Structure 1
Amino acid sequence: MNSCTILRSVLLSLNTSWVSNQRRWIRSAPSLYRTAGHTSNTTVHHSEATLGKLRSLNRQFDRRLRSVYQRYADGPDHTVFQGSHHVYIVEGCGIYRMGHTEEEQDMVQVFHTDCAGDVEGTIQRVRLSATESILAATAKNSHKEEAKCVVIRLDNHNAPQKPMLILDNVFSFEWASDDVLVYTTQEGLQCRHVFRLHLTNTGNQSELLYEEKDPEFFVEVSRSRDQRLLTINCSSKKSSEVWLIDSKCPFSPPTQVQPRQPGLLYHVEHSNNLLYILANTGTGHEYQLLRAPLSSPAMQHWKPIFSPGPGAVIKDMEMLQDHCVITGREPQGQLQLQSISLKSPDHGTVLQLPSWACAVETQRIGTVDKDTFSFLLSSPVHPPIRYHLSPAHQRPLSREHAFQHQHTLLTECHTTRLQAASQDGTMVPMTLFHMKALADLSEAPLLVHVYGAYGLDLNMSFSPEKRLLLEDNWTLAYCHVRGGGECGVSWHRAGCLQQKMKGVEDLSACIQTLFQSGVSQPALTALTARSAGAVLAGALCNKNPHLLTAVHLQAPFVDVLGTMQDPSLPLTIEERGEWGDPLTNPQDRDNIASYCPCHNIVPQLYPSMLITAYSGDSRVPLSGVLKYVERLKKAIQTHTSSSSRLPIKGNVPTIMLDLQPGNDHFGPEDFDQSVSETAQQLAFFYTVLGLEYKGSQQKMRGKRKRTIKNMTIPCQFPHHMIGQINMRT
């Protein structure tokens, strides 16, 4: 993501839980769960046949997933970046480098967290000073929200360097010059302070540069692509504000671009003493590209130079020397690049991307080629391929050579874009991935994905486990419901606050449209969602449980009402722009109560659920998850008890609570733990949907017996974004 990306850079993990991989993934103890501050002595019984199948499938999927990950291990690596004199590689807890003309065997380690005392975890972000004399990097343990920043002086020694300085609780940072580092500190989940660190021969001096007073705003620093400006970006759910630091005078006070005002969102880049601004000042309050003199940056000097066509939206921009490259989406959801000449903005070139492309990842860490935009294209089932865009060339768009198996696999997959008519007539886009023809999918298992919050797009970058499901003839459906960001700013606003139920209606319409189109059936349908996506998933389960058979919720935000009524929690105040304020606004309270998953559970047969929660998650309180599980269990018990003399239609659902230790919301970074958790998720889907798994092939069983299964299986699982650091993603 570049410095003026519409949505803040997010922390992505491969999967979503942390716990020792030495532990058994299913616990045979009788208690449902036991954790600090909450104990249940509920005794449950479970089918040994079900548990046996889960264990067996877990082992099989673990082996196969490792093979699938290995198959794609040679793809392009975004952890490699260029310096002025060296190539740098980030790998786990270490940073390595080699000369531009050297081979990989000449690579040497310049830093490892083992050399930094109490610094631990994996490397998150790296920044080189202008002359490549000093490096700054953050390292973060998955059990912690906060990261430590190490500052290392680079020299010609071929040995790991000890940090010259360690800074605590650093979120974002950039070099203003070779001896000036500007950084933000994170307190809990909030960033409100910006500091300027001056490195001198006689000592290091740090001073407060900016302090944010409004608790609804989050602050980070970034740098323009031409390295000229540092930007202090202050953002809330409703507005934004940017301050500038000129690297030519790094000790001068920051200058304000445009004071914040309600409803105005904007982001800033720079080229040739001109500011290029993405702001939601276009038709329908969508983003358009404007520019203004660096010397006169306020809004009255903004001049529009590009606006997308009807139904199209801008997602990001990248500044080259003489061109601006706009990443956008067409009305049907197709990604598109548009190159705009800075000298003649009326002359733009549309660069059509492959039909399967769903995710763009900018590659620009370290030294930047001013004339070329490098990026990775991928989809959930298409491995990333690196492209280069050089607008001044006769053939501006080129693709790096892809390793052989990509060529064969890409042609076998269908990417289909559909629309569903929601309850109010709004057309909701969907993206489908499938191996068989659309007309042959009625018996195919279906995995539905949803998010629909904060104006964020669904994560559609490559996932080897999704490729595995595709090869097993699953259909993967991504529902771009209101509340997300796929269709622009207005799409988000149409699904937040008082309109949050629109996202639930959209999701229901998407699933029903798939069935009506001949894609799968309820008995073969699973839904997956994480964090705030669980609001829509949980609300759908309360309203239309018959549409689904299996549901997987990761770090689920299911007690919206309880959470938003507690201002002591770190995100409550900041997220009032998304959910409302039930403490002071009765209308907001009634609205949240109408869809909150935890407060609308009724006695009925729910889909079987696997719920993963984290005991110390500071974004999603564990108390809300435990309350949700208890109410689900009680509702199912009530329903089955009252129906004891009547035929039960379908199997009684299995509710599995996977309670993990630790306080990280995003999940494991350890490869073994990630693979193990993914294997468990797949084993759950196959077991609940009644699918036979035989290597790379699966088929339906014969007619299943309609027997009452156990309602709750106690479990302990042993042991990826795009979510903003200050939200439930």
Structure 2
Amino acid sequence: MQVPEIAIAKTFPIAEKRHHVHMIHGDERVDPYFWMRDRTDPATIAYLKDENAYTEAVLKPTEDLQKALYQEMLARIQETDLSVPYRKGNYWYYTRTEEGKAYPIHCRKQGSLDGKEEVLLDQNQMAEGLEYFALGIFSVSPNQRILAYAVDTSGAERFTLRFLDLETREHFPETVSDVYYSFAWGNDNRTVFYTQVDEATRPYKLFRHTVGSSTPDELVYHETDDAYFLSIGRTRSEAYLLMHLGSKVTSEVQYLDANQPTGAFQVLQPRTQGVEYDVEHHSDRFYILTNQDAINFKLMQAPVEDPRPERWETVVPHRDDVLLEGVSAFINHLVLYEREGGIPQVQVCNLTSGEQHPIDFPESSYEVYEGANPEFDTPVLRFTYTSLLTPSSVFDYDMNTRERELKKETPVLGGYDKSQYATERLHAIAPDGTAVPISLVYKKGIEKTGNNPLLMEGYGSYGFSYPVSFGSTRLTLLNRGVVMAIAHIRGGSEMGRRWYEDGKFLNKKNTFTDFIACGEHLIKEGWTSSDHLAIQGGSAGGLLMGAVLNMRPDLVKAAIAHVPFVDVVTTILDTSLPLSAMEWEEWGNPNDPVYYEYMKSYSPYDNVEAKDYPALLITAGLNDPRVSYWEPAKWTAKLRDRKTDTHVLLLKTNMEAGHGGASGRYEHLKEIALDYAFLFTQWGLR
């Protein structure tokens, strides 16, 4: 789709706005688009609306296509559906959806699944008349009488907390604003703990509240270090409340007897720079997952009565080839979540016999996640299994008998037959000789002619391992001959913790060159060509898109960057913004000249040049607290000013949402339909 840049590209009065100039390390930084940070300036909102109008005008010829793609994707979804119920005490909890309604309905039944349904919350009723609605906290008291829940109606991730008496259906009088996601009940069914966020949307204070009381809430803890986030939770054993304080590379956990919720928290191990740990409880001991002298983590145990580090004993030692990602405790079992060779593994340890066994999975590449397991006294582990071919499937696994029961495979309507599709695991060779995995999925019959449209996705930051999971919306592409690829680049943890370390700080460019190497490999092997390759990433994956486009704009036909983190240096220098100080331990501190120069050398916004770029669709959320809307807006403006091609450049800002885009399931599908319509026009697909 070749379109000339119209009025918005050149006539918007940017030159009349003030330039922002400041010096750092002797480098004069001039930012002509700094004014876009001021959302109270009518010109800022006007600019975003103009860009939206331009995007709508350019994509207007695809309106019928978008509607058709939306209907096609919607037709694969069982709109009236039910989640797999899970048991907590004498109740079974579940959610259900109804055709035509955008949000889930939260329900429970007492005694058995044949009992009478009790609707706890109907999000559809709560969201009525709102452009955006998200449910954060959803937590029932230990006696299952009171529901604590919190809602966000802007996308800014600042929630309002309320309490509902499930017997009387009356709300308690108090509301608490600016709370975050974590929450915990004390065992007295009245004392609760919640976190509040600061101006930078960092959860930094822990409060203790008595439900129904008008007494001011007690400030339990105030984390003053801007690099640390605070969260609160309760162990599955229900014996302890755990306050977790964490930066990107350092942890501290404090614990409190849940039967004495008005008591004082105690530190398990004081924070030590670079040492991360997490805690699980079982009877008379704490299990501690830590990276102290163990880059891939190890499992320790300590007596509850004296858990000082000198009392720690090794349960699972460090292994160079296995990343230990998590541990869950049940009354007679420990469950270990590991990753070896990029593939998830689950190990079950019998605490009575000491015997250990793996859970076997049928495919060579897949993802597995722990499901809803609120009960401590049970031999049954619930997990969710998925792959690029297998829809999300919920299993109950008996850890004693080793028998598993499929409780539900997410239905894909329209006759999905996974035998018609294939997956492969390839490896590209990065410039430094490192083998980088690529996960591929396509419809059988595809030939390596070099002419296949191909969409490659990636992320490569924060140690996040990009999941090889199923998505029914992908069938819209696969069925039209599109090959889909996931580049498991450094900066994630697919191949262990060193894989992450080799893609951060002064190694960050490995993330970008790995991705480029993956694209080059797919072209070399005949899967696609530069005229047919599209790429996609969001947030830090949007940074990946921007960096790759600056380095190799000739490599791809088109790119989609969702809420892209592209103004790296300016954002991380500004500690008033969400996440900035914390980001120093991911990207580096730009106040250090070495890091400043390195970050500036790849920051997408700072490296836009006068050259040809491929077609580009960029998205933003006006209320986004993670990647501020002005980053994609400024990037778009700079690209418009400097790029020398006539390829389409689109910015679409959701004026009512935040980082995750639209909140309802139908609006979310419409966003995907727009993305696909953009790609179809670039590939020439019908």
Partner of 2:656: 662
Shift of 1:129: 1.8
The structure-2 alpha-carbon separation of the partners of 1:98 and 1:268, relative to structure 1 and needing over 3 Å to count, comes to: same
- Change in CA separation of 1:101 and 1:450 when aligned onto 2, cut-off 3 Å: same
1:486 aligned counterpart, secondary structure: coil
Q: State the partner residue of 1:591.
A: 598
**Residues 552 and 611 in structure 1, CA contact (< 8 A), matched pair in contact too:** yes
| 1:253 maps to 2:264 | yes
| Residue 87 (str. 1) matches residue 99 (str. 2) | no
Per-residue deviation, residues 139-162 of structure 1 (Å, max 9, x unmatched):
22243321112212222x5xx443
Question: Residues 663, 83 of structure 1: CA spacing in aligned structure 2 closer, same or farther, 3 A cutoff?
Answer: same
Could you say if the C-alpha distance between residues 403 and 121 of structure 1 is closer, same or farther in structure 2, counting changes exceeding 3 Å? closer
Q: Deviations over 1:699-722 (max 9, x none)?
A: xxxxxxxxxxxxxxxxxxxxxxxx
1:426 matched residue in structure 2: 434
Q: Aligned with 2:69: secondary structure?
A: helix
- 1:22 corresponds in structure 2 to none
Q: Does 1:195 align with 2:207?
A: yes
After the TM superposition, which residues 49-128 of structure 1 pair with which residues of structure 2 at under 5 Å, given as runs?
A: 51=59, 53-70=61-78, 74=81, 77=83, 80-90=85-95, 92=103, 95-103=106-114, 106-111=116-121, 121-128=133-140
Q: How far apart are 1:115 and its partner, in Å? A: 8.0
Residues 111, 162 of structure 1: 8 Å contact kept: no
Distance 1:623 1:173 in 2: 32
Render the CA deviation track for 1:79-133: whole Å, top value 9, x for unaligned: x5433233233463753332243548x3233345768999993433322222212
Aligned residue for 1:447, secondary structure, equals strand
1:281 alignment counterpart: 292
Name 2:315's counterpart in structure 1: 305
- Match for residue 487 of structure 2 among 479, 482, 488: 479
Q: 1:154 to 1:686 in 2, by over 3 A?
A: same
Aligned-pair CA distance for 1:191: 0.8
Residues 47 and 428 from structure 1, CA distance in 2 versus in 1: closer, same or farther, beyond 3 angstroms? closer
Q: Against the structure 1 CA distance between its residues 415 and 300, is the aligned structure 2 distance closer, same or farther, given a 3 Å change threshold?
A: farther
- SS of the counterpart of 1:564? helix
- The counterpart of 2:589, out of the listed 576, 581, 585, is 581
Whether the 8 Å contact between 1:416 and 1:431 is mirrored in structure 2 is yes
Aligned to 1:683: 677
How far does residue 438 in structure 1 lie from its aligned partner after superposition?
7.3
Runs of at least 5 residues in structure 2 that lack an aligned partner in the other structure: 14-38, 97-102
Equivalent residue of 2:510, what SS?
A: helix
Which amino acid in 2 is paired with 1:77? Answer: S
Matched with 2:20 is: none
Normalised to the residue count of structure 1, the TM-score between the two structures is 0.81
The letter of the residue matching 1:168 is: S
Give TM-score, length-normalised by structure 2. Answer: 0.86
| Match in the other structure for 1:457 | 465
Shift of 1:490: 2.1
Shift in CA distance, 129/599, structure 1 to aligned 2, threshold 3 Å: same
CA contact (8 A) 1:441 1:475 kept: no
What residue in structure 1 maps to residue 333 of structure 2? 323
Q: Deviations over 1:343-387 (max 9, x none)?
A: 455x42122223266333322265455321101112355321111
Give the Å deviation of 1:500: 0.8
Query: How far has the Cα of 1:493 moved from its partner?
Result: 1.7
In structure 1, distance between residues paired with 2:437 and 2:603: 24
Matched with 1:539 is: 547
Q: Is the 8 A contact 1:567 1:573 kept in 2?
A: yes
SS in structure 1 opposite 2:463? Answer: coil
8 A Cα contact 1:258 1:299, kept in partner: yes
1:31 aligns with 2:8: yes
Structure 2 residue matching 1:687: 3-state secondary structure: helix
| Counterpart residue type for residue 496 of structure 1 | K
Match of 1:628 among 635, 650, 654: 635
| 2: CA distance, partners of 1:61 / 1:632 | 29
Alignment of 1:238-637 (within 5 A): 238-281=249-292, 283=294, 285-307=295-317, 309-331=319-341, 333-343=342-352, 345=354, 347-355=355-363, 358-364=366-372, 366-367=374-375, 370-379=378-387, 382-393=390-401, 395-400=402-407, 402=409, 409-436=417-444, 440=448, 442-582=450-590, 584-637=591-644
- Deviation, structure 1 residue 688: 0.9
- The 10-residue stretch of structure 1 (161-170 or 529-538) with the greater mean CA deviation from structure 2: 161-170
Please state how far the C-alpha of 1:318 moved relative to its aligned partner: 1.8
Indicate how the Cα distance of structure 1 residues 195 and 461 shifts in structure 2: closer, same or farther if over 3 A, else same: farther
Call closer, same or farther: CA 1:148–1:681 in 2, change over 3 Å: same
Task: Pick closer, same or farther for the CA change 1:684–1:371 going to 2, 3 Å.
Answer: same
- Of residues 106-115 and 235-244 in structure 1, the stretch that sits farther from structure 2 once superposed is 106-115
Counterpart contact for 2:332–2:351, Cα < 8 Å = yes
Deviations along 1:444-486, one digit per CA (max 9) or x if unpaired, are 2211111111112225444321233223332211111111222
Corresponding position of 2:21 = none
Query: Cα–Cα, structure 1 residues 467 and 291, in superposed 2: closer, same or farther, change >3 Å?
Result: farther
Superposed displacement of residue 537, structure 1: 1.4
Deviations 1:166-185 (A, max 9, x none): 22222211112112212111
How many Å apart are 1:251 and its aligned residue?
A: 2.1
Query: Contact conserved, 1:142 with 1:669, CA < 8 A, in 2?
Result: no
Residue 551 of structure 1: SS of its match in structure 2?
strand
Does the alignment pair 1:208 with 2:219? yes
Once the 2 structures are TM-superposed, how far is the Cα of residue 310 of structure 1 from its aligned partner? 4.1
Structure number with higher relative contact order (C-alpha < 8 Å, ≥ 6 residues apart): 1
Q: 1:403 to 1:486 in 2, by over 3 A?
A: closer
Distance 1:115 1:523, change over 3 A: closer
Q: Distance in 2 between matches of 1:410 and 1:356?
A: 15
Residues 369 and 383, structure 2, Cα contact 8 Å, conserved in 1: yes
Q: Residues 415-464 of structure 1: CA distance to partner in whole angstroms, max 9, x if unpaired?
A: 32222221111222221112226754743221111111111222544432
Match of 1:219 in 2: 230
Match of 2:153 in 1: 141
Residues in 2 aligned to 1:307 and 1:439: alpha-carbon distance in whole angstroms: 46
2 CA distance for matches of 1:470 and 1:315?
32
Whole-angstrom CA distance in 1 between matches of 2:381 and 2:165: 29
Q: Secondary structure of 1:682's match?
A: helix
Deviation of 1:47 (Å): 12
Identity of aligned residues (%): 25
* C-alpha separation in 2, matches of 1:312 and 1:414: 27
Q: Give the letter for the 1:620 counterpart.
A: V
Q: SS in structure 1 opposite 2:582?
A: coil
1:548-602: per-residue Cα shift (whole Å, max 9, x none)? 11100111111112212222222211211112222x2111110011101111122
- Change in Cα spacing, 1:401 to 1:676, as seen in structure 2 (3 Å) is closer
Separation in 1, partners of 2:663, 2:71:
19
Q: Which residue of 1 aligns with 2:647?
A: 653
Which one of 179, 195, 199 corresponds to residue 190 of structure 2?
179
The total of aligned residue pairs comes to: 640
Which range moves more in the overlay, 433-442 or 417-426?
Answer: 433-442
Whole-Å Cα distance in 1 between the matches of residues 268 and 504 of structure 2?
28
Structure 2 counterpart of 1:500, which letter?
K
The SS at the match of 1:520 is coil
User: RMSD between aligned alpha carbons?
Assistant: 3.2
1:214 offset after TM fit, Å? 0.9
